A = this chain, B = another copy of it.
């Protein structure tokens, strides 16, 4: 697997990939000679193509069809060949605008982001919502709903709000509730939700023991809030049906497994969470994870104040327009990061 190809082979591989990405048809030597001005005859190109196939960069669906890039070919293309399509000012502006319109609410922004990706790329989009384990506790608020029901609200530094109705047999007075709130806020401010589980719990427990009267109830309450916070990570998927627009999906049955995968949140979650931190392109068989051969995903992480909190990306056939998609995904992630960071600043100032 010679990792360096001579310039002409590179050029030819690039041209074949470019062409195949838009046409979805195996591309032949003649087509290349005609369509692209390489100053080479079909015969020469044929020879080069034979070499590239030898090297594992190209494949023939059957004798005497044209060639198509193999997974390895795509990999090389993505890593070394493609010329990233610059997003125009206008496109970047659009991302800004669309996201800005919904700047108020986290949920809404996430949702909007995935919709935007779908529109810009014409591929289904995946969004892994803020990874709340990494979020930092900011504020807890306990609101009485009735004698036995209490609404607990946890606000994180990303502005995310989690709410949970807790039923409470024992009954708690308003004064007790306030004191519990106070203690919790004092103790928990600035702590990452991840670190919350056990270590601090005992400390708070002893703190509360001082107020013998509601020890039991308070501990109960606390463990229940913590136990159910931070589990709300979600994978949003949007435009799933866009994948059907791709010509390779005309034989539907082949892609049943893919469609099933899209319906299963856990798989997607796993898939995305492997890609936390940075930008990733995973091609075809590189997604061993279930049913996704024949597909590629392009993902980028987004962050709040430098801390990665989630992943966005799009899903498409291996014949995906990487040169176009990659910048879109990256820019969107960047702008999203910016926006979220601003939001967070505002909240914590």
CB distance from A222 to the nearest CB of B (A): 16
CA of A238 to CA of B151 in the docked complex: distance in angstroms? Answer: 28
* Chain B residues closer than 8 Å to A153, beta-carbon distance: 141, 143, 153, 161, 163
| Given A145-B348, A146-B349, A149-B349, 8 more pairs with CB closer than 8 A | A105-B165, A138-B145, A143-B153, A143-B155, A145-B346, A148-B349, A161-B163, A244-B252
Q: Is A147 an interface residue, CB under 8 A from the partner?
A: yes
Some 6 contacts from A to B, beta carbons below 8 A apart, are A146-B349, A147-B349, A149-B346, A161-B163, A241-B262, A249-B252
**Nearest-CB residue, chain B, relative to A161:** B163
Q: Is A250 an interface residue, CB under 8 A from the partner?
A: yes
* Chain B residues closer than 8 Å to A163, beta-carbon distance: 105, 153, 161, 163
Q: Is A9 an interface residue, CB under 8 A from the partner?
A: no
How many chain A residues have a CB neighbour from B under 8 Å?
Answer: 42
Q: Is A240 an interface residue, CB under 8 A from the partner?
A: yes
CB distance from A221 to the nearest CB of B (A): 14
User: Does A346 contact B262, Cβ atoms closer than 8 Å?
Assistant: no
Of B151, B155, B166, B245, which is within 8 A of A151 by CB?
A: B155
Of B146, B228, B244, B250, which is within 8 A of A347 by CB?
A: B146
* Chain B residues closer than 8 Å to A145, beta-carbon distance: 138-139, 155, 159, 346-348
CA of A164 to CA of B141 in the docked complex: distance in angstroms? Answer: 15
Of B161, B228, B263, B347, which is within 8 A of A241 by CB?
A: B263
User: Does B240 contact A346, Cβ atoms closer than 8 Å?
Assistant: no
CA of A161 to CA of B242 in the docked complex: distance in angstroms? Answer: 33
Chain A 55-77, CB-CB to B under 8 Å as 1, else 0, gives 00000000000000000000000
User: Does B155 contact A161, Cβ atoms closer than 8 Å?
Assistant: no
Q: Is A230 an interface residue, CB under 8 A from the partner?
A: no
Assuming A241-B263, A244-B256, A260-B241, is B164 touching A104 (CB within 8 A)? yes
Beta-carbon contacts under 8 Å, A79-129 to B: 104-105
Q: Is A167 an interface residue, CB under 8 A from the partner?
A: yes
* Chain B residues closer than 8 Å to A259, beta-carbon distance: 241, 244
* Chain B residues closer than 8 Å to A238, beta-carbon distance: 263
